[in-house]
Chain A
Amino acid sequence: MILHRVRDGLPLMNLVSLRAVPILQQLHLEERLLRSSSDNWCIINDGTNRPNIVMGISGRPSELIDLKSVLRDRVPVIRRFSGGGTVIVDDGTIFVTFICNKDAIPGLQPYPHPLMSWTGQLYKDVLHGFGDFHLQENDYAIGSRKFGGNAQSITKNRWVHHTSFLWDYDIKNMEYLKIPSRAPKYRSARPHVEFLCRMTEYVPSRSTFIERTIASLGNHFSVKPIHQDRVIDPSNTLHSSSKLLTRQELEEAYSSLCEKLHIAAISV
């Protein structure tokens, strides 16, 4: 039996607050904490340093991204360790990740739907008064417009739920992403500009959102800030399956796609 740390009757959660850390580094940190820590963690990364495309574990570049423009503009493409869809993230994205032991929340089963539902309720509390928040299928939405994309990874005794929140975004960046064939019903085939919304139009400031998230977590955990120097270790890629796709991989995907479509691959 593993004894988990408790304070004031609530399980402990370590809080790591980051600013503009590269998303690949954040993903490596998350996997390492998932697989080799027995503590509960919340990681908040306020923005990332440059635009990156991040696909889920089963993502196929030819189906999800506009390879020609991605190759032309040298946009990094990452395949992450969790499930779910494709996002493009940049300094307008706020990342919030929970890494928990399976018994951290009483009565919560460590399966996709219960985790989605629990986090949905947490963010409903966070965003109370700022907009008509919904958990729409597996997205966070205001009305019918998505502002937060979710993904999870579940192991024998622990789980990760991570979210990329669209505080703000550049519509030009969204053009790198195709409309996925596997999309939620409520999307109704809408293009990105009609499907998404910006949190900045609803919430007064980034810090308001972050502070309210931490406060809401305090209803379930005893939150303890941990300095990033104690956890960030860019050289430690143990347990890291999240990978940056190489240019060669992207070029091969582009060539195969052109062959399949019987069009000439333009050198980019």
Chain B
Amino acid sequence: MAARLLWASRVASYLRISTFPRGFASVVKDLKYADTHEWVKVDGTSATVGITDHAQDHLGDVVYVELPEVGTNVTQGKNFGAVESVKATSDINSPVSGEVVEVNTELNSSPGLVNASAYDDGWIIKVKMSDAGELDSLMDSDRYAKFCEEEDAKH
């Protein structure tokens, strides 16, 4: 058992994944996070956006994703789309401002990718950022992990 835990922690370290002390809801280092539980991966002026493992875990099985049109402008903190899970639509809010240059059309036929691969194949939109300075207001992985713990502890 101890050897398996050691192996798991080495794999997590290699993949740059942190797990919470309770062992669920992962975060990925090098991403930035919004307090509305979206993540952003930055590459120059391009930003890939999705929802976090914490969000998909709390929302339940995603059955539909409402995607914006390519060319839409998004604003930091404002909703640009929605996911449907259980009987609820839940807003997805953009962590950055800019223009949507690509949407993940795979989600039309496989919305469950948001649950199964929240940080990878479950990405939702790509944005050409208009203000990279906005990233300073987002959380890093450690701060986001702590934020989630505090939020869950309040309830």
Contacts and interface: CB of A to CB of B under 8 A. Distances in A.
Given A57-B66, A156-B93, A182-B63, A112 B85 contact: yes
Nearest to B34: A156
Given A57-B66, A58-B64, A108-B155, A154 B79 contact: no
A81 B79 CA distance: 14
A141 interface: no
Nearest to A84: B87
A112 B36 CA distance: 15
A150 interface: yes
B87 A81 contact: no
Interface in A43-90: 56-58, 81-85
B89 interface: yes
Interface string A132-165: 0000001000000000001111111000000000
A112 B152 CA distance: 15
A83 B85 contact: yes
Given A111-B59, A156-B79, A57 B84 contact: yes
**Range of interface residues on A (Cβ < 8 Å):** 20 to 34
A241 B85 CA distance: 18
A161 B149 CA distance: 26
B89 A82 contact: yes
Contacts of B58: 109, 111, 113
B86 A112 contact: yes
Contacts of B64: 57-58, 83
Nearest to B82: A57
A116 interface: yes
A58 B77 CA distance: 24
Given A111-B59, A114-B155, A57 B89 contact: yes
A155 B152 CA distance: 18
A83 B155 CA distance: 24
A107 interface: yes
A211 B75 CA distance: 43
Contacts of B84: 56-58, 83
Contacts of A155: 79, 91
B18 to A, nearest CB: 22
Given A57-B84, A182-B63, A107 B155 contact: yes
B22 interface: no
A36 B15 CA distance: 43
A152 B89 contact: yes
Instruction: Among B36, B66, B84, B87, find the residue whose CB has the most chain A CB atoms closer than 10 A.
Output: B87
Contacts of A56: 84, 87
Given A83-B87, A85-B87, A109-B155, 6 more contacts: A57-B84, A83-B63, A83-B88, A152-B89, A153-B88, A154-B88
* 7 closest A-B pairs by CB: A84-B87, A58-B64, A152-B88, A112-B86, A112-B88, A83-B84, A111-B58
Interface of A: 56-58, 81-85, 107-109, 111-116, 138, 150-156, 182
Interface of B: 36, 58-60, 63-64, 66, 77, 79, 82, 84-91, 93, 151-152, 154-155
21 contacts: A57-B82, A58-B63, A58-B66, A82-B89, A83-B87, A109-B58, A109-B151, A109-B155, A111-B59, A112-B85, A112-B88, A113-B58, A114-B155, A138-B87, A151-B87, A152-B86, A152-B89, A153-B90, A154-B90, A155-B79, A155-B91
